């Protein structure tokens, strides 16, 4: 197994561990910030930046900005649904909202 895959798995495991630890602390809300650390963006940008042109890296970054829209939809739905439905219905509805928003972003992006 390549060392790069092991490193990526360890970074992911560390993020999950940090989320679990923070969720049990007095500052539990910080657990919601951990997924926003650009761990995977750093990996993606390094790979794109080292294998493709600077223009392609810029396009990847711009698409990343557009990708914030589905995440905002997800968070908005979690915020609204969490006081109205069960946890599973909240997360399921928010995930469905993310999928629909992501499909919309992809449709708009591929047409331009």
Give the pLDDT of residue 5.
85
Residue 53 — left, alpha, or beta (φ > 0 → left; ψ -120 to 50 → alpha)? beta
DSSP letter (8 states) at residue 67: T
CA–CA distance, 110 with 10 (Å, rounded to integer) = 33
**Each residue of 13-26: pLDDT tens digit?**
988 999 999 999 99
CA–CA distance, 91 with 65 (Å, rounded to integer) = 23
- Contact (Cβ atoms closer than 8 angstroms) between residue 22 and residue 30: yes
pLDDT over 90 (residue 106) = yes
pLDDT over 90 (residue 9) = no
**Six-digit token pair at 89?**
């219905």
pLDDT over 90 (residue 8) = no
CA–CA distance, 36 with 78 (Å, rounded to integer) = 16
Give the pLDDT of residue 35.
83
**Each residue of 29-64: pLDDT tens digit?**
999 888 888 878 888 999 999 999 999 999 999 999
pLDDT over 80 (residue 1) = no
Give the pLDDT of residue 109.
94
pTM for the model: 0.79
């Amino acid at each position: 197994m390549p060392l790069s895959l092991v490193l990526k798995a360890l970074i992911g495991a560390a993020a999950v561990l940090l989320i679990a630890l923070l969720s049990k602390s007095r500052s539990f809300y910080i657990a919601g910030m951990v997924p926003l650390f650009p761990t995977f963006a750093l990996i993606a940008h390094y790979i794109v930046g080292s294998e493709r042109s600077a223009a392609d890296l810029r396009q990847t970054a711009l698409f990343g900005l557009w990708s914030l829209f589905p995440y905002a939809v997800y968070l908005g739905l979690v915020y609204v649904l969490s006081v109205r439905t069960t946890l599973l219905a909240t997360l399921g509805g928010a995930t469905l909202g993310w999928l629909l928003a992501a499909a919309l972003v992809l449709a708009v992006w591929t047409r331009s």
